[in-house]
Amino acid sequence: MTSDLQDLLQRALGSAYRIDREIGVGGMSTVFAAVETSLNRHVAIKVLQPELAAELSTDRFAREVRLAASLQQANIVPLLSAGEAGGFSYYTMPLVEGSSLRALEASGVPIPPHEAISILKDVARALAYAHHAGIVHRDIKPDNILLSGGTAVVSDFGIAKAMDIARATGSADYTLTSPGSSLGTPSYMAPEQAAGGVVDHRTDLYALAAIAYRALTGQPPFAGGEIAETLYKVVHTRPRRPSLLADVPPELDLVLAIGMAKNPAQRFATAAELAEALEGVFSGTLPEGVFERGRSLEHGGAWASPPRASTTRLRR
């Protein structure tokens, strides 16, 4: 099937691109490595899944992608183009040689703190830049965090918003519980996003905190057999205390209690604040106010499990 799709797409794109191979399949798109022939430039072509593309206005989608393409920052994979050919809706970006955070996490073993913090700081830089420009990612997840040359870069900025705006009629049955929905990925969705509420930059901050939880403990904060079950847990339940899952400082409980607060107003205000607090966990220098804020949220029931007896007294 993939070979057939590659052949059909190659014929539709003609000589503009030379498609080399498939490099990934997800709920939202199939990704191919290709060469943009006019510039001899290696690119990734993401072809939207047919059931998703069918409900989009191609013109609106392309227009929103052009807006997102204005983001130019070292930790952001830029969008190059978007279009439609032969019934295929697609967009392109530079091909990043390397792996992804998802592949790094695949073993289920926590990532060494110094390595995880370096990755999270890179993602925070990307988010800070995009948020300053008024663009919210909406689907921060390990798959969209690419690792190359010792640097983490974030892909697919603007795609989720572009898909939401470009939905032509709303008649297609493509909802929050659909795998790969442009509205987000369940394990990393903020409660307000899972409940269909207002999305802003604090939604991305929640996702970054949830990714930190997974990277530093080896387990996602929420997981269920069905997507709807995971979404229910995100909205209505509390995750386990991070320090009970891995050998991490108890201060991580405080930082992630703020980063993953159910109420967006209780989270960190910026990605830079969250990254600074995460770094402070392992350097023993929590930023001012984090201890008190985290403690307050813990007393309010941030976690489903109490602290270990040995961690009831934290460094300040």
pLDDT of residue 262: 97
3-state secondary structure of 297: helix
Q: Which domain holds residue 183?
A: 99-311
Same domain, 82 and 181: no
The secondary element (H helix, E strand) that includes residue 45 is strand 41-48
pLDDT above 60 (res 284): yes
User: Residue range 212-230: average pLDDT?
Assistant: 90
pLDDT above 60 (res 85): yes
Of the candidates 111, 78, 95, the residue with the CA atom closest to the CA atom of residue 212: 111
pLDDT band at 172 (very low <50, low <70, confident <90, very high): very low
pLDDT of residue 316: 53
Cβ-based neighbours of 160, under 8 Å, separated by 6 or more: 137, 138, 139, 182, 183, 184
Looking at the structure of the chain, the number of domains it has is 2
200 is catalytic: no
Q: Which of 94, 124, 144 is the last residue of a domain?
A: 94
Q: What are phi and psi of 106, to 5 degrees?
A: -60, -25
Of the candidates 233, 213, 235, 217, the residue with the CA atom closest to the CA atom of residue 225: 233
CATH number of the domain at 169, please.
1.10.510.10
- Rounded-to-integer distance, Cα 220 and Cα 222, Å: 5
Query: Which residues is 84 bridged to in the sheet?
Result: 89
The one catalytic residue among 122, 139, 143, 156? 139
Same domain, 47 and 165: no
Same domain, 253 and 182: yes
For 40, other C-beta atoms within 10 Å of its C-beta total 8
The fraction of the chain above a pLDDT of 70, given in percent, is 91
- Taking each continuous run of H as one helix and of E as one strand, the counts in the chain are 12, 8
Mean pLDDT value across the chain: 88
- The type of residue at 46 is K
Of the candidates 179, 219, 184, 200, the residue with the CA atom closest to the CA atom of residue 271: 200
Same domain, 186 and 233: yes
Q: Which of 71, 94, 117 is the last residue of a domain?
A: 94
pLDDT tens for 120-140 read 999 999 999 999 998 999 999
- Rounded-to-integer distance, Cα 230 and Cα 19, Å: 36
Greatest mean pLDDT range, 44-53, 75-84, 246-255: 246-255
pLDDT tens for 62-73 read 777 877 888 999
- Rounded-to-integer distance, Cα 191 and Cα 102, Å: 22
**Structural domain includes residue 157:** yes
